[in-house]
Structure 1
């Protein structure tokens, strides 16, 4: 069930940051979904990260109240940091330029965090949406509304979630709402990370504040052919991010609990075997071999690591050209 609360007499200003890179096809629907949030004081900031299409022109023409900040292409982490620097709101929310919010998202989050003094960050459940159309159909939204009534289906990590984050990035950026002061304390996103910059920030935030989840899908996570997550990764960012967290804080959570060392080791080994598999498929055999060995160093019993190592050796014997 959606959270119920009395209307806020003086709603806090929420700065919504939308990093944009060549998002002409989708950004209009994304902004419209933000504007559909009722009884919320909003400022919308689009940070154009060097787009070469007509994204900026579309926003200027169709949404004159939206603030536009333009910069040379520097990556999504830098774009979000630029938006944070420009934000005036007490709260900051993020949404990518091809995702969709559902009505009531921000109101549900503000109500939940108002009931939890000291909580400075929250997120919601979401629905993966494989689609190239700009916005969901009414029929799709009606079906999702029915699915959303099953609260147990949408439950997840909530509270002091550092141990859960060591195992998976259970927070998705386009659902996050957090205090701007918390972002300042954390110095924003790490711009050295091309992927995993969000995961790194959530881990750092989880050391400072509980992170609460609204157990209802209030956002659509678009998957389409141009998604960055489908490209062959240049680095195992998951291992890098988790390794940094373990190096700084170990397994111990701020609330006294501890992460599961064996489960974390298995997760890290899987990250390396997945990375190896991606490079094996791309026939980057040297990279695949090195990653497979990293998986087995992390967990010698990790069977997928052995499998990808054997496959790498077999492919190296085929006549196709190997990439270093």
Structure 2
């Protein structure tokens, strides 16, 4: 296996001239407790012609020490803390492979991931990005696994209209042709969340995207996931949507979608904020949603939740308490599975498999 341009058991120097077919970019920030498992999952790949590039985005824990233990099995690039997008971009610039794959340092790959995706890209030149199914697991209950497909559809082909509605691509899974970054640019370093969603939309404009219908990765959910910052996700998601609908659209693939997409974005966040007891913000978001598109009153439980919010925060709290006391399901169930749960980076409505970040690669 060519990790950092080396064969298993060899030093980095011995095979430094060997060009890998796949470059794996792992950005990390203060995840010394997780990154070894992520790296091990790459070292366990059945595909041999790959290099591993770990970009340490200014970690202050024991990340550097942990990475040294891997010796020549990977290339480590250290930089001052600049954020997830910048860390990924550093990895892209250093990569030499024909295909690039990204793995956040708290997630995991299954052994056949790289080989199956390389085969798909080799066989279908019109495809620029390949992604796959992912299982979501929680540190507190690692045996409980939820497929990403529970939250999102996984289309193939020209999927731009799907992508602007929701980030359907699980963050541990994309493999991308290297030359696409020359066409669409690097990750947007001004975004502090949803940066991967923005990238997949840009890629979706210029090529087809393919889905491998197999579980090839695991996405770790824990209390430090940056996807938990719903305000940051909302603001950055709105910026992603503004970029998407402001870009030239000669094929008119997005024609007529703007009002619906923005209104659902506000509605999903409004319902999520209602669930968290943030009634004033929920009322504001839901009013924006139905103002943009009155049909959103019939979307999920928007009408019922908005009616409660219009009564005021005190009344909303009393009604929810009364409902619980009556032994019924909590009103929070109204925020159903399509509500934002957060991409660790990235994202859109539904489970956001992108990670938001506060100027760090990960770990906040």
TM-score by length of 1: 0.79
Aligned residues: 292
1-structure distance, mates of 2:311, 2:218: 41
Question: Once the two structures are superposed, what CA deviation does each residue of 1:126-175 show, in whole Å capped at 9, x if it has no partner?
Answer: 11122258xx78xx8xx99xx9xxx9xx9831111112112211112311
* Segment of structure 1 superposing worse, 301-310 or 28-37: 301-310
2-structure distance, mates of 1:296, 1:76: 34
Aligned partners of 1:318, 1:124: CA distance in 2, in Å? Answer: 41
Asked if the contact 1:99/1:221 (under 8 Å) is kept, the reply is: yes
Following superposition, the deviation at residue 290 of structure 1 comes to 4.1
Per-residue CA deviation, residues 32-74 of structure 1 (Å, 9 max, x unaligned), is: 0001112321111111112221112101123542111112222
Partner in structure 2 of residue 213 of structure 1 = 211
1:105 equivalent among 104, 113, 121: 113
Cα-to-partner distance string for 1:81-133 (whole Å, 9 max, x where unaligned): 11111112121100000101001111101111111123222111211122258
Superposition pairs of residues 250-265 of structure 1, within 5 angstroms: 250=249, 252=251, 258-259=253-254, 261=256, 265=259
Q: Distance in 2 between matches of 1:103 and 1:180?
A: 22
Secondary structure of the corresponding residue to residue 31 of structure 2: coil
Distance in 1 between the 2:41 and 2:231 partners? 31
Go from structure 1 to structure 2 and tell me whether the alpha carbon gap of 1:293 and 1:245 turns closer, same or farther (over 3 Å shift): same
Whether 1:297 aligns to 2:291 is yes
Distance in structure 1 (CA, Å) of the matches to 2:203 and 2:194: 14
Partner of 2:195: 197
- 2:200 matches 1:239: no
Q: Which residue of 2 aligns with 1:276?
A: 270
Relative to structure 1, the CA distance from residue 277 to residue 66 in structure 2 (aligned partners, 3 Å threshold; closer, same or farther) is same
**What aligned pairs does 1:124-139 form with structure 2 within 5 A after superposition?**
124-132=132-140
Larger CA deviation: 14-23 vs 241-250:
241-250
What does the per-residue CA deviation read over 1:235-287, in whole Å, with 9 as the maximum and x for residues that have no partner? 4333331232122245946xxxx45846x644422321333345556676665
Matched-pair contact (CA < 8 Å) for 2:19–2:97: no
| Matched-pair contact (CA < 8 Å) for 2:53–2:77 | yes
d(CA) in 2 for partners of 1:265, 1:63: 52
The 3-state SS of whatever aligns with 2:93 is: helix
**Are residues 271 and 128 of structure 1, via their aligned partners in 2, closer, same or farther at CA, if it must alter by over 3 Å?**
same
Closer/same/farther in 2, CA of residues 294 and 155 from structure 1, 3 Å limit: closer
In 1, Cα distance between equivalents of 2:281 and 2:190? 21
Question: Which position in structure 1 is the counterpart of 2:348?
Answer: none
Q: 1:281 to 1:251 in 2, by over 3 A?
A: farther
Deviates more, 1:288-297 or 1:224-233: 288-297
Cα RMSD (Å) of the superposition? 3.2
Where relative contact order (Cα < 8 A, 6+ residues apart) is larger, the structure is 2
Match of 1:4 in 2: none
1:122 equivalent to 2:130? Answer: yes
Structure 1 pair 214–281 and aligned structure 2 pair: CA distance change class (3 A): closer
Q: Secondary structure at the match of 1:174?
A: coil
Gaps of 5+ in 2: 1-17, 318-364
Does the CA contact (< 8 Å) of 1:251 and 1:260 recur in 2?
A: no
Of residues 306, 309, 312, the one that matches 1:311 is 309
SS at match of 1:156: coil
Which ranges in structure 1 are unaligned for 5 or more consecutive residues? 1-9, 320-324
Q: 1:175 aligns with which of 162, 173, 176?
A: 173
Q: TM-score, normalised by structure 2?
A: 0.71
Equivalent in the alignment of 1:46: 54
Separation in structure 2 between the aligned mates of residue 318 and residue 291 of structure 1, nearest angstrom: 16
* In 2: Cα distance, 1:83 partner to 1:35 partner: 18
2:90 is aligned to 82
* Distance change (3 Å), C-alpha of 1:203 and 1:155: closer
With over 3 angstroms needed to count, the CA separation of the structure-2 counterparts of 1:245 and 1:278, relative to structure 1, is same
Contact 1:14/1:40 (CA < 8 Å) preserved in 2? no
